[in-house]
Amino acid sequence: MVETFYVHLEFASKSGGLAVNLPFLCTKCGVCCTLEDFLMAGEVNAKPEENPQIHAKLKALYDELGKLLEEGEAKYDHYTMHTPCPFLKDKVCSIYPIRPEGCRQFPNTPFGMQTQDCQPLNRFKKQLSALKKGRACKETYHFTDASQEPERFTEKQYQKCIAKLRQAGITEDELALFHRFNKKNKP
């Protein structure tokens, strides 16, 4: 199962408050899976005896990077910035169950939150500020495998959220995911 990252927002109010989930929809464009990002994401969670092919690939990669570094830092940087992660196959991670922790947590990482390259993430950040605008709230971050907290809202509150998300440029696919992540207690 591919995990979905989402933010759980809890707003306090006199009428009992509002709690809503805002999910992030990855379009699998592969932009965040460059070699540079992979190298910063942590270790591949696999034992050499269990995954000899992956380890052979990693060894070949590090040998190549070592040679490039000897030829000069500029060459090395250019290569890592412009080369896809060796485990990206047809825009899908071929080592998904054992991918590094940084990939696992993306976009909930310092790098993930700073990057401007992921268009869905840019939209997600806009949607998040539209929902939060001018209101104090408790914000917690989850993946779908974490236990979901109950959502609380009235139909009016829910429609207000949707209006704000539309203003922030939410796509129809993202809206469909938003409905799925909030349907549990939807009136």
Contacts with ligand SF4 by CB under 6 A lie at 26-33, 37-38, 41, 85, 87-88, 93, 95, 99-100, 103, 107, 118, 120-121
CB of 45 to ligand SF4, least distance (A): 10
Q: Which is nearer to ligand SF4, 70 or 90 (CB)?
A: 90
CB of 172 to ligand SF4, least distance (A): 16
CA–centroid distance for 98 within its chain: 16
Q: Which is nearer to ligand SF4, 99 or 142 (CB)?
A: 99
Q: Which is nearer to ligand SF4, 38 or 181 (CB)?
A: 38
CB of 112 to ligand SF4, least distance (A): 8
CB of 72 to ligand SF4, least distance (A): 25
CB of 58 to ligand SF4, least distance (A): 11
Q: Which is nearer to ligand SF4, 5 or 153 (CB)?
A: 5
- Copy the structure tokens of residue 186: 């939807």
Q: Which is nearer to ligand SF4, 33 or 130 (CB)?
A: 33
Report d(CA 100, CA 35) in Å as an integer. 13
Report d(CA 80, CA 67) in Å as an integer. 13
